[in-house]
Structure 1
Amino acid sequence: MEGLQPQILEDLVRVRMPFGKYKDRLICDLPVSYLEWFANKGFPQGKLGMLLSTMLVIKSNGLDYLLAPLKRKPK
């Protein structure tokens, strides 16, 4: 990994799930069980997969609070 990329954190609170059971829900609001399901089945390719796997790491380590200031920030 090449250092912290703040845009990734911004994307977690702005990008919505484009398909499936949780379509239109923000990535940061997806339940950990859904993220774990993807981890077992395989994350999608590209940016979406990277965001989902990043969110799983954040939630699995109890770091959700780091996103709270970004969620309150105006778009």
Structure 2
Amino acid sequence: MGLLGALFGLPLAPVRGVAWIADQVLQEAEREYYDPSAIRRQLEEVAQARERGEIDDTEADALEQALVARLVEGRRRKRQGGP
């Protein structure tokens, strides 16, 4: 990018900065969402809630299926080089 390109691109710098920050926030959120240790902890919480009678078997099964799906998706993303 030459001098003229840099000068004309300067007004877009704040937009690029905001886009970069948004991308960083998204990557961190996905990292936390697909974190295997967090998912395992949530699975344990579901099992404990089931044992205490706070949720029924149907609700616990649905929660467990969703968490296992997240775990599988997280592993798939990691193999593909994603966050």
TM-score range, shorter chain: under 0.3
TM-score (normalised: structure 2): 0.25
Q: Normalising by structure 1, what TM-score?
A: 0.27
Structure holding more helix per residue: 2
